[in-house]
Each structure stands twice: as C-alpha cells, then as structure tokens.
Amino acid sequence: MTIEDQLATLTMPAPDGVSEAFLLGSGLADGYATFESPIGDVLVTFNLEGVSMVDLPDRCNGHFAERFGRSLIEAEPPKGWASKIDKAITKGTPGALPVDLRSVTEFQQMVLGQTAKIPKGQVRSYSWLAQRVGKPNATRAVGSTMARNPIPLIVPCHRVVRSDGHIGNYSLGGPDRKTELLNHEGTDPAWLEEMAIRKVRFAGSNTTYIFCHPTCSYARRTTESHTVEFRSETEAVTAGYRACKVCTPGS
C-alpha cells in the first residue's frame, strides 16, 4: 500500500448534515496533515487544544482511534501552526507550539514536560527523569510514559535511554529509528552503547573536578586526556567531583 493509499484510509466523511468544520470545531474529530521529519513523513494530528499525536502514516489511524475514539479529517492546521510544527520537529521540543496532552495522566504530563527540556544531541535516563519529577522509585513508570508519549519527535523521547545506559526501545518505529534520530542529532548511539557495556554513566574533568552526563555539552568539550569516567554518582562524589549544574547528573 502506498502512502497515498494509507492517507486515503484516514479520511472519515462527516455524517449527513454535519460539516467537517463542525466536527473539528466541536472536538468530535481531529485534523491531520503530513510533515517531513528526519525519519521520513509523519502524520501530525491536531485540535483546538494543540497537537494531539505524531505517528507513522501506516498506523496512525488505528493508534488514534484506540487512544482517542475520535475521527480524523484531513485539514490545514490552525493559522501559524504549520511553521511551528516544522520547527518543533526539527528542534525536538514544542517551543511555542500548543500541545494536547489530555490523553496521558498528570504524572505522565510532568515526565513529558521534563523530557521536552532535554537538549538536542544529548540523552538522559529513565531514572534521571524519575528524579526530576520527584519520584525516584518510579523508573518503570517513566519507561511506560515514554512508550505512551503521544507526540514523539516533538516531545523527544528518543533522547531518553534506559537507566543502564543502553539505547532501549522507541515507540515511533523501534530502536533502529531511535538510533537513526540520535545519529542525525550527532549523539553517536554506538558510543553510548559502548559506554553502557562498560557500565560508564558519567564523565568528569580532572581540571574542573565537575562530572556530567557524557553527552552534556561541557563533557563533550573535555579532552580525552582530562576525562575521568565514573560508574555512579557516588563514585564521582567520593573521588571529589561535584555535579554539573547545567546537566544535573544523578541516577
């Protein structure tokens, strides 16, 4: 089935006497449009609250119906949103784009809010996110939140790795797509996997005595001869290093 055929299956005609404009304006249906991304075309759905889902064209209709129970209608995004959607996909953060996260719990909204702050080209772990939302024992729930993220690429769950440092799965097409996105952003997932195998979690500088997440922009500036690797926060602190105030390493 071609992408054109897949898109055709998404168009849900309005019942007799009911306009598509009414369905969209009343919240009985969401609009959808196609946008380019680093992993190919994606469908972005939206309503008056904001962008509600980002998914692959061949599965969006089923996923959307399962999550929302509403129809999808091909439509232009609200005025000014198209450029904001393009920018959000490119930067991997919502920015000024309204998003609709009503399909997830309050806890999941908090986790996704922190996920949206992870800089492009960097990664953080499930356990780091759990710490950031004040629920240090909720690592598994954070992993579930990444799987439930309705707007991947815009809320960049591809920048979240397992607590042991391994890349992990990805809801928008699996680990291969996650690797593709991380490579696109210059993160070097092969390097991350190699460190995970060696159980390296943090990188310190023996000139500043500061330790960071290995992908932190400050850690990446440290030359190899001045880099000290640590397997845990405790190991780094015991060695006399303090945590970076920018990337806030820990767990």
Phi-psi region at 31: left, alpha or beta (left = phi > 0; alpha = psi -120 to 50) = beta
Cα–Cα distance measured from residue 77 to residue 32, given in angstroms and rounded to the nearest whole number: 8
Q: Which helix (H) or strand (E) holds 230?
A: strand 227-230
Torsion angles phi and psi, residue 66, rounded to 5: -65, -40
- Could you tell me the two tokens for 211? 């330790």
Alpha carbon 18 to chain centroid, angstroms: 36
Q: Is 148 helix (H, G, I), strand (E, B) or coil?
A: helix
Which residues have a catalytic role annotated? 157
Q: In what order do the strands lie in the sheet with 50-55?
A: 50-55, 42-47, 29-35, 71-74
